Chain A
Amino acid sequence: MDYLRQVGALVWKDLVVELRTRERVAAMGAFTVLVGILFSFAIDPSVVQPQDIASGLIWMTVIFGGMLGLGRTFHLEEDDGAFQCVLLSPIPRDALFLGKVIANFILLTVVTALVFVVFALFFDLGFGDHPLALAAVVLLGVLGFVAVGTLFSAMSARTTMGETLLPILVFPLLIPVVIYGATATSSLLQGLPVSEVDGNIRMLAAFALVALASGAGLFRFVVEE
């Protein structure tokens, strides 16, 4: 019970601080809206149908926008050294990682919902016949992304070139999320049956699971000195 209480305390703290500063959600939200608008102007509909490439663009927008927020995860913790004090509390390091991942997941899910709204408006996109399957694809993809991003964000926060380094470290690891996420999203937006994306959903779930387990195991080596 203490473990869940500790995770809950961290999630609560991160969300309250974000609600009061709006530092990350505002940056990610503005970025995704602007990118959606720019994409809509950049694509010539006489050459390519926007709906045909929308899924790839959606995932790239989520990932680029998400990096803005994830990169700041531990910068907020530097507020008068408060994170050092968190590390001097008896919270297990995997609980600390899990709390951070859950808070980031909630924030990025909100931003991802905004991305879909923006693309629905500017690309005249529907959500297909299987909104639940689409939600599963998006949530699993975002979870995997956040798990990897949170671990590397903790790592990069301790280096002088952290924010520059973060995308270079994280993007190669996100290739599976982009491949399986974009393919499944594309299929579902085209109205194909869920059985067509079964394998992709499983792969996204496996990726999220491996990223969570590795992150939880490795986090203490990143944050402890």
Chain B
Amino acid sequence: MNNPVLRASGLTRDFGPLRAVDGVGFSLGEGELLTVFGPNGAGKTTLLRILSGGLQPTEGVVSLRGLEQKSGDPEWYRRVGFLSHQSFIYGHLTLDENLRFFGRLFGLKDLSTRVPDRLEQVGLASRAGSPARTLSRGMRQRLALARSLLHDPEFVLLDEPYTGLDAHAASVLREVLTTLKDGRRTVVLVTHNISQGLELADRVAVQVRGRFVLLQDRAEVEVENFERTYRQRVEEAG
């Protein structure tokens, strides 16, 4: 691992009596991508929400290049981009308006060039003036990707980005996600899909009942046997 830029330690989140995330800790170097696998209800989305700054942990700390995450800290949000299986966009605004709106919230000044560039990057430039609600699921997801990368974040969180996409839309999205591995961004990807998750990963984790039951470098993973290893770990922890 390069020098760690992202450090998470002892992350725990309780919802009443339910512990959704339980003592999760890991470090990632600049440009590294961690894929987190896990069954439904394992706490993966809750973990991403904590890392994004959208949810405060009950215990534990996260820091990015020494900046410790605090509730509502604008500096944290400037550094983080979050892509979920929900698109987080306004259906009644056009694609251009959606990106300009979020760009203004991030205080970006060069929106007249940045917005068309991002739409071009995700192959949606020709639909810039269409209302977002008229887009297909795959197009919405690409717009969401453009929105999450609009402010050029150094830390990117991807929560099941392939959910509900057909084969073509998934391959377009994969191409764009591959460009995230530019050595500058640190990425955490949550997915159920083992082949897609392993394809881009530098490190791999399996989360079950809130805990990381496996965390290792991608190079140490036996790809052919990983599905069996994954099932074994889930059964042991479950």
Contact = CB atoms under 8 A, between A and B. Distances in A.
A90 B88 contact: no
Nearest to B131: A20
Interface string B81-110: 010101111111100010001101111000
Which residue among A2, A21, A79 has the maximum number of chain B CB atoms within 10 Å of its CB?
Answer: A79
Contacts of B75: 90
A110 interface: no
Contacts of B93: 13, 16-17
Contacts of A183: none
B77 interface: yes
A220 interface: yes
Contacts of B80: 88
A85 B147 CA distance: 10
A80 B91 contact: yes
B118 to A, nearest CB: 15
A81 B84 contact: yes
B105 A89 contact: yes
Interface stretch (A4-12, A120-128, A152-160, A187-195): A4-12
Nearest to A6: B105
A73 B72 CA distance: 22
Nearest to A13: B101
Which residue among A6, A16, A85 has the maximum number of chain B CB atoms within 10 Å of its CB?
Answer: A85
B105 A86 contact: yes
A92 interface: yes
A224 interface: yes
Interface residues of B, number: 32
B77 A90 contact: yes
A88 B147 contact: no
A43 interface: no
B53 interface: yes
A93 interface: yes
Interface in A39-97: 79-82, 84-93
B35 interface: no
Nearest to B148: A85
Given A81-B84, A90-B75, A2 B107 contact: yes
Contacts, number: 82
Interface in B42-101: 52-56, 71-72, 74-75, 77-78, 80, 82, 84, 86-93, 97, 101
A84 B88 contact: yes
A88 B53 contact: yes
Contacts of A79: 90-92
A92 B71 CA distance: 11
Contacts of B82: 85, 88
Interface string A1-41: 01001101110110011001100000000000000000000
A2 B104 CA distance: 8
A74 to B, nearest CB: 13
Which residue among B56, B84, B86, B101 has the maximum number of chain A CB atoms within 10 Å of its CB?
Answer: B101
A87 B82 CA distance: 11
A5 B111 CA distance: 13
A224 B104 contact: no
Interface in A159-215: none
Contact of B54 (A9, A88, A90): A88
Which residue among A20, A80, A81, A88 has the maximum number of chain B CB atoms within 10 Å of its CB?
Answer: A88
Interface of A: 2, 5-6, 8-10, 12-13, 16-17, 20-21, 79-82, 84-93, 220, 224-225
7 contacts: A2-B107, A9-B104, A13-B90, A80-B140, A81-B84, A85-B88, A89-B102
